[in-house]
Amino acid sequence: MRRKLAAFAKNTLGISPAVAARFLPRGLLIGSLWEEMGKHQFEFLLSQGLQPDSRMLDVGCGTLRGGIHFIRYLEPGGYAGIDPESRFLGIGRRLLQKEQLESKSPTLVKMGDFGFGRLGGEFDFALAQSVFTHLPLNDIVRCLINMGQVLAEDGKFFATFFENPQGKANLEPILHPTVDTPNLFSYFDRDPYHYDLATFEWACQDTGLKVEYIGDWNHPRDQKMLLFTRA
């Protein structure tokens, strides 16, 4: 797998083997399960009603693992992606050039405070894949407050999370065994975080949003799915 990702980085993104060797061990360069998760995100939103004329916000778009599929499908100007890491966005822009998709005019913005209002307009769909799994609760609340200001009236915001089915009183790590990561744990108070549904219901208060538990969506690393809509 490591050699496959290094070859992808070199041949598709034009990144040197030295750079790939630096970032791949930490999953920082292109995101793990690049091809699988990119397609999985895209196919999931299609199943939820995404249309070519939809306007979509990709929260934590990274190096466009899923974004490249959305950009290719959506009409020009229909995609906006934000990420706090400028180097990830730079790789994403290189990928757009490689795939000759610059004419789709996607918006890619370095952003770490979830200031979605600065993007202009409203969004029909939004996705935060593997974002809440790395955020403390106050950052999630900030994201939801700002999302409540830009989500269209009938809009849908999907977000993945590691579930704590025993409730917030459970302070123990939770194992999420998968084929490629048999020792993956989530934690109450450190990254990667886990949460219970009641915590998200509380977090939605005064945001203009409500939350619905979707649960399993065949994520390879046991992340569950939530749906936020207008309250």
Report percent pLDDT > 70 for the chain.
86
Ranges for all domains in the chain classified under CATH 3.40.50.150: 32-230
Mean pLDDT confidence for 206-227? 96
Mean pLDDT confidence for 66-84? 97
**For residue range 162-213, what is the model confidence (pLDDT) as tens digits?**
999 999 899 999 999 886 778 899 999 999 999 999 999 999 999 999 999 9
The span from the CA of 67 to the CA of 204, in Å, is 26
The answer to whether 78 and 58 have CB atoms below 8 angstroms apart is no
pTM to 2 decimal places: 0.88
Q: Does domain 32-230 have CATH number 3.30.43.10?
A: no
Confidence of residue 4 (pLDDT cuts 50, 70, 90): low
Q: What are phi and psi of 185, to 5 degrees?
A: -115, 150
- The token pair at 154 is 């009938």
Q: Which residue has the higher pLDDT, 25 or 222?
A: 222
207-210 contact pairs (CB < 8 A, 24+): 207/141, 207/144, 207/145, 207/147, 207/148, 207/231, 208/148, 208/149, 209/144, 209/147, 209/148, 209/151, 209/157
